[in-house]
Structure 1
Amino acid sequence: MLTEPDIRIADSSDADDAVTTARQAFESWRRTPAAERGAALRAAAAALRAATDELAEIHERDTGRSAAEAAESIGAGVSTLEQYAELGPVHRGRTLHGGWSATDLMVPEPRGVVVALTPWNDPVAVACGLIGAALVTGNTVVHKPSERCPRVGLRLGELLGQAFPDGVLTTVSGGAETGARLAANPDVDVVAHVGGVETGRSIALATARTGAKALLENGGNDPLLVDGDVDPVWAAEQAALGAFANAGQICVSVERIYVHRRVAAEFQEALVAQAREWTGRIPPLVDRAHRDKVHAHVHEAIEAGAEPLVGGLVPDGPGSRYPATVLTACTPEMTVMAEETFGPVAPVMVVDDFAEGLAAAASGRYGLAATVLTADMAHAQEAYRVLPVGTVKVNAVFGGAPGGAAQPRGMSGSGYGYGPELLDELTTTKVVHLGTPGGRG
C-alpha cells in the first residue's frame, strides 16, 4: 500500500524546473506510438481503480466529501481515463485531394507542455479528464492541484505517474503564486484551468503575453427554471438535488431558481421539506473561510428583504458545516442571485410566466449551464435556443451521456473541457501538401 506523501510546497524554482522537465520529456513522448500512449493510460486507470478506497479516505480528509461519494467521483475519473485511452489513438485527421498527383494531409499534433490547474470540489475526476486527454495526444503535463486538497492531488499524481516515463506527468503543490508562475512560464503551450473567475482572468492575461493557449472553466451561476405545468413536488426534488448535493460545491450546481407563480407555493413548501431532509446528510463545506463566504451571501440577501424559509444560520461548534437553506422573495440584484455562492443555498424568485422566467434565467455574465423543468416541448425548444450557456439540461439537473462535451461561455470560460472535443483543444493541426517532383502536383 502506498503511504500518504508529505506536502512540499513548490517555490518558483520548483515550478520552473517542473516545466523544464516536461519540455525535456516531450520530444520522446510525442514520438511514442499512439497505441502505446493509450496503453499507458489504461495502466494508469487500473492503478487508480485499485487504490480507490485509499484515495477516497484522503479525499474525505482533504475536502470533507464522504468517502463513499469520493469513491464515485474517483470511479468517474477511472472511466474518463479509459475513454481517452480508446479515443486518443484514433483522434482524427483528414485528407484533401487537390489533384491526381497531390494530396493535402491535415495532421493533429500535440501542442507541447500542458499546465493543468485543477479544483478542490472534484479533484480526481476533473484532473483525470485534463491529464488523460493531454497525455494520450502526446503532450506532457505539469499538474498543480488546488492547495485545498494537496494530499489528494499528490496521491493522484503518484498513482498515475507510475504508468508513464519520467517527466511526462509531474505534480507540484502550491497556492496561487505557484499557479501564476506556471501559467506565466514562456515554455508552456497550454494552461488548462478549472476554478474561479478571477484566477481565470489572470491566466488569460498571462497566456496573452506568452502565446500559450488558455483552456478555462471559470465557475457559473446556473439557473433552474420551473415551468407552471410540472409536478411541484418532483420539481422541488430536482431543485434540492441540484442545490444541495455535495453541499452545493459542484461546478454545475443550481445557484438560482425561477418558479412559475402557478406552482410556486407548493414548490416552495416541498423544497423546504427537501432541505430539512438533506441537512442531516450534507457534507461540510471545504473550510470555514468558504463557509463565511456562503453565509455572507445569505445574510446580505436577508438584510435586503429575502425570507429564509429554512436554514440560513451558522451551526454552533467546530467544523465548517452549513445547513440546506431556502430563501424566497429574492431579487436579481442580490449577490446570492447574481453571483456563484457555491454552497447549499436555494434562492427562489417567483415569476408570472415562462417568458419572464426565461428572460431572468438568461441574464447575467456567466454561461456555464442551466436547467429547465417543463412539460411543454415548445418551451423546452425556446429555452435551449435562448439560454446563453454551454449546457442546457431539460427535466434533469444532472446527467448526460458518457463522452459528452461542455463549452462554457461568457465569464464562465472558453474552450471544450470534456468529451472527444477536448482532444481537439489539446492538439494543433499541421497541413502538409504532398506533391510530385517536377511540379505536376
Structure 2
Amino acid sequence: MTDMRVEALDVHSPVDGQLIGWLPMATDEDVAGSVLTAREAQPGWAATSAAERGAALKAAAQAIRTHATDLANVIRSETGRPFASAREGVLAGVSTLEQYAELGPVHRGRSLLGAHDATDLMVPEPRGVVVALTPWNDPVAVACGLLGAALVTGNAVVHKPSERCPHTGVLLAQLMVDHFSPGVLQSLTGDGTVGAALASSPHVDVVAHVGGTATGRSIAAACAATGAKALLENGGNDPLLVDADVDPVWAAGQAALGAFTNAGQLCTSVERIFVHQAVSDEFLAALCEEARRWNADPQPLVDVRLREHVHAHVTEAVADGAEPLVGGAIPERDGAFYPATVLDRCTPDMRVMREETFGPVAPVRVVPSFERGLAEACVDEHGLAATVLTASMAHAQQAWRALPVGTVKVNAVFGGAPGGAAQPRRKSGTGFGYGPELLDEMTAVKVVHLGQIQPSSQANRAAS
C-alpha cells in the first residue's frame, strides 16, 4: 500500500533513538488559515469581560493540573527530561496560568489630569493576533507564560511548539482550547519553516519567541518588515563568579546545579565559571566530584544534533589548551547522552566561553581577583542572567550593578520570588518574558480625550 501521509515531523527518543511517533507538518495554507481565523475571532474575545477571560484561563489551568502526569510522560519521551522534573515544569506552568487569571482582570490603565470639563484616559487594549513560538527544554512552563498573558488580555493566539516536542504541544492545546471562544487559541505543528511563515505574516501583531539566538534575529528582521512587535528571549551565556571568601565545596555544588541541571539545557544554565585562585584547587576538586555524581544517573540531551554542537565546543576548547578533568567524550551507548564535563584552563577566546553551549559542560577560568573575574564576565554579546557567590556585600553590590544582564542572582544559581520579570539584553532578546510586565507587552496603550461640544457663537446669539 502506498504511504499517503503528508510531510511529517518524525520524533525520535533521545534515550535510544527509536521512533516515538509522527505528526503532520502545517502547510502554508494552514498557517494563513489559522492567522485569519485568529484575526476574525479576536474582536469578540477582546469584548469578553476581563473577569470571564480570567475564569477561562483558570479553567484551562485546572485541566492541565488534572493531566500533569500525562504531560510529564510525553515530555519525558520526547525530550529525555526526567519525569519528576518534567512534572514540576508542568505544575509551574499551571501556577503561571493561575497567576495571570488573577492579574488579567486587574490590569489597568490610568486617568490623566486635563481640563475640568474633559476626561483623559490611557487605556490598555489587546494588540490583536499573537504568534507564540515556544521551546522544547521547558515546553509547558514557557508556553503557559506566553499563552496566559496573551489570552487574558484579549488577544487571539496561534501557538507553534518546538518540532522537538510536538506531541507535548498538541496535548497542551487539547487541554486548553475548549475553555476559550472558537478560534481564539490554535496550535500548529511544524519545523522552523512553519515558525518563519507565522512570524512573517502581515496579519500578526506580536511574535513571541523563546529559543535560539539565530532564530530570534530572523524573527526580529521579519517583524521589522511587517511592523509586528517582537518579544524575544534567545538564551544566554550566563557567568558564575566564585569569590575568595565562600566555601569552595558549597560553591562547587551551586556550580554543578547550574551547569548540569536538565543536562545544561536551560536558558539560565551556568555557561562559564570564574573562580578566585585562592579557592580554585578545592573548588575544582569538589566540582569534579559533583560531575561524577551527576554522571552516575545521566540524562540524555534532546537529540544527537545538539550533542554534536556541545561536543564541538568541548573538543575545540581542548584543542586550544583546556584540560578535561571529567567527561568530554561521547559515551559508547545508544541515545543522545553526553557526560557532565568539567574543563579547566579555559580562556575567554574559546567558543565554549563565548557562546551558549547548552549542554552539561562547566568551563572554568581561574582568575587572580574578584575584580578581574567580574571584568571578564561582563565581556559578552549576550545579556540574560548571571550568578555571584560571595560573602562580601560590597562585591555583591559592585557585581549586580556592573553585570550587563537582565537578572543577577547572588548566592543561589536558581530561585526568586513569584512574579519576577526581567528584560534580556543584546543577543539574549528584548521585552519582558514573565510577571505582570508581560501583560503590558501583550497590550498597547490608547490615549483617549473626551471633551464636550462647545455651543457656537450663533447659537448663543439666537438663544439671547
State the TM-score, normalizing by the size of structure 1. Answer: 0.98
1:152 maps to 168
Pairs within 5 Å for 1:21-420:
21-420=37-436
Shift in Å, 1:439? 7.7
| 1:433 equivalent in alignment to 2:433 | no
Q: Which has the larger radius of gyration?
A: 2
- What amino acid is the match of 1:173? T
| Partners of 2:159 and 2:441 in 1: CA distance | 17
> Bigger shift: 78-87 or 290-299?
290-299
Shift in Å, 1:357? 0.3
Shift in Å, 1:436? 2.0
Preserved contact between residue 374 and residue 380 of structure 1 (Cα < 8 Å)? yes
- Matched residue of 1:17: which SS? helix
| Partners of 1:346 and 1:141 in 2: CA distance | 38
Shift in Å, 1:191? 0.2
2:30 maps to 14
What is the CA deviation profile of residues 74-112 of structure 1, one whole-angstrom value per residue up to 9, with x for unaligned ones?
000000000000000100210012122122100000000
Shift in Å, 1:5? 9.5
| Partners of 1:429 and 1:250 in 2: CA distance | 33
Where does the alignment leave 5 or more consecutive residues of structure 1 unmatched?
Answer: none
- Matched residue of 1:366: which SS? coil
2:6 maps to none
- Matched residue of 1:15: which SS? helix
Where does the alignment leave 5 or more consecutive residues of structure 2 unmatched?
Answer: 1-19, 457-464
Shift in Å, 1:282? 3.3
- What amino acid is the match of 1:51? H
What is the CA deviation profile of residues 266-304 of structure 1, one whole-angstrom value per residue up to 9, with x for unaligned ones?
000000000011112331000011111111110110111
State the TM-score, normalizing by the size of structure 2. Answer: 0.93
2:459 maps to none
Percent identity over the alignment? Answer: 66
- Matched residue of 2:249: which SS? helix
What is the CA deviation profile of residues 56-85 of structure 1, one whole-angstrom value per residue up to 9, with x for unaligned ones?
111111100011110000000000000000
Preserved contact between residue 407 and residue 415 of structure 1 (Cα < 8 Å)? yes
- What amino acid is the match of 1:21? T
In structure 2, the CA distance between the partners of 1:439 and 1:92, relative to structure 1 (3 Å rule), is: farther
Structure 1 residue ranges, 4+ long, deviating more than 6 angstroms after superposition = none
Preserved contact between residue 246 and residue 282 of structure 1 (Cα < 8 Å)? no
- What amino acid is the match of 1:78? V
| Partners of 1:134 and 1:5 in 2: CA distance | 30
- What amino acid is the match of 1:434? L
- What amino acid is the match of 2:409? K
In structure 2, the CA distance between the partners of 1:270 and 1:101, relative to structure 1 (3 Å rule), is: same
| Partners of 2:198 and 2:344 in 1: CA distance | 43
Shift in Å, 1:6? 6.4
| Partners of 1:30 and 1:61 in 2: CA distance | 37
| Partners of 2:89 and 2:135 in 1: CA distance | 13
- Taking only aligned residues, the RMSD between alpha carbons, in angstroms, comes to 1.2
| Partners of 1:88 and 1:148 in 2: CA distance | 31
| Partners of 1:5 and 1:90 in 2: CA distance | 43
> Bigger shift: 320-329 or 99-108?
99-108
Preserved contact between residue 245 and residue 282 of structure 1 (Cα < 8 Å)? no
